[in-house]
Each structure stands twice: as C-alpha cells, then as structure tokens.
Homo-oligomer: A and B are copies of this chain.
Amino acid sequence: MTTVDDARLAYVALSLLVEPGNRDLGIEVAEHGPVATLDRMVAGRVRAQLYGAAAARLRTGPPLRSAQQAVEHAERMGARIITPLDDEWPAQLADLATISRDTAHRIDRDTYPPLCLWVRGPWELAQILGSSVAVVGARAASPYGNHAATELAYGVADRGWTVVSGGAVGIDAAAHRGALTAGRPTVAVLACGLDRPYPVSNSGLFERVAEDGLLVTEWPPGSLPHRHRFLVRNRVIAAATRGTVVVEAAVRSGAVQTLHRAIQLGRTAMAVPGPVSSAMSVGCHEALRTEGTRLVTGASHVLEEVGSIGVDLAATPRGPVYDHDRLDAKTAQVLDAVPARQAAGPEQIAAAAGVALTDALYALSELVAAGFAIAKDGGYALAPPPKRSAA
C-alpha cells in the first residue's frame, strides 16, 4: 500500500526524469499511477522511447532520493513543489490530456499535463487561478501594445480576476505590472528554474511577483530557458486560465501558439486589435481573421467573454467554474456514476459509468475542479451543495 506522500514524491521524481508534457509518460501515469510508473521506469518496463528519454538522468542516482532533495531544495529557496495530489493543484490542467487525444494523428508532442509545479509566492495556486485570464504577447512590443496590455491587465485584475502570463519583457511584463498596480496577485509561468528567472532584466519584477503573486514553473532549479521550453510552457498558461488574450504578436509568434492551445482546450481565445500599419499587430489580426478568436479592446470585453461581471469573485469556488451543461458527454456520464455519500474508487466509478479507467480519472479530476465531486477516503463522492464563504 502506497501513501499519498509516496505518490507525491513519485510525481516529483518522474518530473525530474523526463521533460514536461511527455505524452508517453502522461499515459503511463494515468494508467498505473505515479508510484508504479516510477517503478516501471526504473525497471525499464516502459516504451523504449520513454525509457531512452529518462536513461541518462536515471543513472545519476535513485530517483526518489533526487525527489526528496528537490523538495528540500524548494524549501530552502522559499518555494514549494505541488503535485496533482495537492489541494492547491489547478485541476483544469488535466484538460491538457485532451489535446493529444484530439490531434492524435498530428505530431503534437509534449502537450500532456504537468506532473508537478514549482511555486513561489503567498497564494494558493488553484484558488487564484479559479478566475484567471492569460494576457500574453510580443517581447518586442510597441508603446501602444505595452500601454494596452497594462490597461487591460489592470482592468481585469481590478475586477478581481487573476492575470497569468510568461516572464518575458514586453507584453508579459506590462501585463504583470498592470495587475500589480491594481493590487492583485499575478502569476508568472516560467520556462526555466525558479533560481534563474529569465530574463535577468525582469529580476525586479519577478521579486514583486513572488511577493504579491506567484512564480510558477515545471522545471527544477538549474533549468535553462531553452527555446523549446517556452512552447511547452505555453500550454500551461492556456490550460490554467479561462481564456487567453494576445495583445500584440508578430506572425507565428509564441503568443499566437498559446492562443491556439487555448482554442484546442475549449478556452476563450481573444486578441486585441491595433493599427494595421503595425507589424506587432499582424499576429493578432491574423488570429482574428480565423475562426474562434474574439476581438477585445479592453478588460470589460475580456470579462464579457470569460465570465459574468458582477459575480462575487472573492467567493468563487476553487477551480474553474463550469456549468453543468458545459460538461461533455463522457464527463457527465462519469458524474452520474459518482456516489452521493460513501466514496467510491475510480475503478468502481469507471465500471459503473462504462468508461475506461483513464477517461474516468480525467473526468473525476475535472469534476473535482468544477466543484461537482470531492476526493474523499481515497475515492470520490458528490460534492455537498455549494456554500459561499464570507471571505
């Protein structure tokens, strides 16, 4: 019998062995759980490609010892490592597993959900991501774009929403500044280790974000911001939030990729228009010419798209708020199989719902995130009727 602590540590160990988003590893973990998957990795009983990806790191020492050291390292640097088993884990990240399923015939690797996140800052991650919007865009932003991003992020934050962005100069930095000016937390999702936030010119900003918001990354300390990692990181920004706004972007920019991820995930995709003469608005305009991206000119448009204005956002339940009607067929099927009082295990629920265990696990994590179900006694049960806390 493995304990929750064993499983948490196994998640951390796995995340140290293989680069984030790995599809093979994601499927292994969904099928076998983190502890058994780690055993299988060590024993070489996984797909050759997956084993190959981890082989070099496996030789550096026992994975669980590395994981324990990582946890201690995080503590020493005033950070923490969270896994899908932690309360503050943003359950909506599980939606990332659907990208690979939907585009199985296309080469779209490294889109699986994170296995753990390094977090630094005083907020509960899941809680402040419950009502959050990604505001992203070009590094080489124009003064117009910087101004628009700051204004938009200020407005969104001022209405109680959390701004999420990367850590780049330009639009990302402008968005964080806008949110911080509104006195609200902002979340910077990095593509490198917390010990070396990139770029260095944003060091002051990162310190403020760590004090008043959250610095988040999938990569352990020491990881450098390789180009590929930015693209992998983008999926987290898209999945963590209710919608993504691109403020300025050149053609084929990373920000536009984040927008496409948002569309793949069923999140709201938005773009801010700009002067047609500006190269920095070309990516936005192209996105707006394709289906599925909404034009927004400011915070009120953004909130019109992602949620109702006037909702008491301080009382928003943890996790994203989904309407019952918005559940897809399979998730609704699983919900019908969740018992009201005595918790049932995922296998039992999967059998009752008539779906595969993997599908049941994803559906259950979504249902928990949405407040329909709760994790209880090692299984799942229906959530009690919602209460709004005074806080």
Is there an interface contact between A297 and B285, defined as CB atoms closer than 8 Å?
yes
Cα(A267)–Cα(B298), bound, Å:
30
A237 within 8 A of B: no
A295 within 8 A of B: yes
> Taking CB as reference atom, which chain B residue is nearest A285?
B297
Is there an interface contact between A289 and B285, defined as CB atoms closer than 8 Å?
no
Residues on B with C-beta less than 8 A from A281 are 273
Count chain B CB atoms within 10 A of each CB in A147, A295, A301 and give the residue with the most.
A295
A18 within 8 A of B: no
Contact of A289 among B272, B276, B301 (CB under 8 A): B301
Nearest chain B CB to A276's CB is how many angstroms away?
4
Interface code A288-301, partner B: CB below 8 Å = 1, 0 otherwise? 11000011011001
Q: In chain A, residues 294-351, which have Cβ atoms closer than 8 Å to a Cβ of chain B?
A: 294-295, 297-298, 301
Contact of A273 among B273, B294, B298 (CB under 8 A): B273
Contact of A295 among B147, B148, B288 (CB under 8 A): B288
Contact of A276 among B274, B282, B285, B288 (CB under 8 A): B274
A144-B275, A274-B276, A275-B274 known; A295 vs B289 contact (CB < 8 Å): yes
Cα(A294)–Cα(B293), bound, Å:
12
A277 within 8 A of B: yes
Residues on B with C-beta less than 8 A from A288 are 273, 288, 295
Is there an interface contact between B277 and A147, defined as CB atoms closer than 8 Å?
yes
Q: In chain A, residues 245-274, which have Cβ atoms closer than 8 Å to a Cβ of chain B?
A: 272-274
> Taking CB as reference atom, which chain B residue is nearest A294?
B289
Cα(A242)–Cα(B210), bound, Å:
55
Cα(A217)–Cα(B364), bound, Å:
67
Residues on B with C-beta less than 8 A from A272 are 276
Is there an interface contact between A148 and B298, defined as CB atoms closer than 8 Å?
no
Residues on B with C-beta less than 8 A from A297 are 276, 282, 285
Is there an interface contact between A273 and B285, defined as CB atoms closer than 8 Å?
yes
Residues on B with C-beta less than 8 A from A276 are 148, 272-274, 297-298
Count chain B CB atoms within 10 A of each CB in A276, A281, A282, A288 and give the residue with the most.
A276
> Taking CB as reference atom, which chain B residue is nearest A290?
B295
Q: Which 9 pairs from chain A and chain B are nearest by CB?
A: A273-B273, A276-B297, A288-B295, A285-B297, A289-B295, A275-B275, A148-B276, A285-B295, A272-B276
Interface residues of A (CB under 8 A from B): 144, 147-148, 272-277, 281-282, 285, 288-289, 294-295, 297-298, 301
Q: 7 extra interchain contacts, Cβ-Cβ under 8 A, other than A273-B288, A276-B298?
A: A147-B277, A273-B273, A273-B285, A273-B295, A288-B288, A289-B294, A289-B301
A-B CB contact pairs (8 Å), 17 listed: A144-B275, A144-B277, A147-B277, A148-B277, A272-B276, A273-B273, A273-B276, A273-B295, A274-B274, A274-B275, A274-B276, A275-B275, A276-B298, A282-B297, A285-B295, A288-B288, A288-B295
